[in-house]
Amino acid sequence: MGLQTPGHVLVVEDEPRLAAVLGDYLAAAGYTHHWVADGNAALPAFHAQRPDLVLLDLMLPGRDGVEICRDLRRIGAVPVIMVTARVEEVDRLLGLEIGADDYVCKPFSPREVVARVGAVLRRHRTASASPLAAPAPVPLRVDEATGRASVRGRELDLTPVEFRLLAVLHGALGRAFSRDQLLGRIYDDRRVVTDRTIDSHVKNLRRKLAEAGGSEDWIKSIYSVGYRMEL
């Protein structure tokens, strides 16, 4: 689309009022957008519009969002943010390798959705930048072979569980993990712990990252889901 806008978004959403609100917020942030309400119309609209990002509802008439996302991944690497009204579906979605870049649960703040759109587009554009450009400095290094992590060369003093948690999040930057998924990855013995144990570990990990010269904001809280890491 034109260079005057930060991007063009294809909104695939069967609730007209919600689509209209999202469209208003996207427009206010400078984005152009196109809306379709039926799953069968998603791919034709994608080919016609060539959007920079697709905001894709999970439950749609015609075809569901999972099928559409898989088709989009076969076509190319356009960023996709999935939207679902079923919080219980999030774990299943996160476990599927459908290629979505992010997930948003209804009800949500339209401002948060627009912020997610901007974050995903920035990540995608950075990854797609010319290889001739100078690489950005790496603020956080995690070495699973040695069990060590450092922020700008300053080593972190982590417990084994904190290191495993950091390694999982850092190993899939931008991907959202539910608390239950994180528990399954940091406790191999499946001991009896609550999912709120993750919140305690994240709190400590954020503090240690900040004390070492990093940022607590590297680990994002996702409402009704869990956590993801962004540098």
Q: What is the CATH number of the domain that holds 80?
A: 3.40.50.2300
Res 22: pLDDT: 95
Res 129: pLDDT: 60
* CA distances from residue 204 to 163, 165, 185 in whole angstroms, order as listed: 11, 11, 18
- Among 127, 151, 174, the domain boundary falls at 127
* Structural domain includes residue 2: no
* Structural domain includes residue 220: yes
Res 36: pLDDT: 97
Q: State whether 96 and 165 are in the same domain.
A: no
Q: State whether 118 and 144 are in the same domain.
A: no
- Among 98, 127, 156, the domain boundary falls at 127
Q: State whether 122 and 194 are in the same domain.
A: no
Instruction: Please state the domain count of the chain.
Output: 2
- Among 83, 99, 127, the domain boundary falls at 127
Q: State whether 162 and 102 are in the same domain.
A: no
Chain centroid to CA 207: how far? 22
Q: State whether 121 and 148 are in the same domain.
A: no
Q: State whether 117 and 12 are in the same domain.
A: yes
Q: State whether 91 and 148 are in the same domain.
A: no
Res 172: pLDDT: 83
Res 2: pLDDT: 39
**pTM attached to this predicted model:** 0.60
Per residue of the chain (231 residues), give pLDDT as tens: 434 568 999 999 999 999 999 999 999 999 999 999 999 999 999 999 999 999 999 889 999 888 898 888 888 788 999 888 766 655 555 545 566 788 888 888 899 899 989 988 988 887 666 455 544 567 898 888 888 899 988 899 999 999 999 999 988 888 888 888 898 888 866 565 677 889 999 999 999 999 998 899 999 998 778 899 988
* Structural domain includes residue 134: no
The pairs formed by 20-26 with CB atoms below 8 angstroms and a separation of 24 or more are: 21/110, 22/55, 22/110, 22/113, 24/110, 25/110, 25/111, 25/113, 25/114, 26/114, 26/117
* Structural domain includes residue 90: yes
Give the number of other Cβ atoms within 10 Å of residue 119's Cβ: 17
Q: State whether 89 and 153 are in the same domain.
A: no
CATH number reported for the structural domain that contains residue 217 in this entry = 1.10.10.10
Q: State whether 57 and 145 are in the same domain.
A: no
Res 42: pLDDT: 95
Q: State whether 53 and 76 are in the same domain.
A: yes
The answer to whether residues 8 and 52 touch, using CB atoms and an 8 Å cutoff, is yes
Q: State whether 119 and 46 are in the same domain.
A: yes
* Among 51, 94, 57, CA closest to 75: 51
SS3 193: coil
Res 1: pLDDT: 42
The answer to whether residues 140 and 151 touch, using CB atoms and an 8 Å cutoff, is yes
CA atoms within 13 A on the CB side of 42: 29
**Domain residue limits at 175:** 140-229
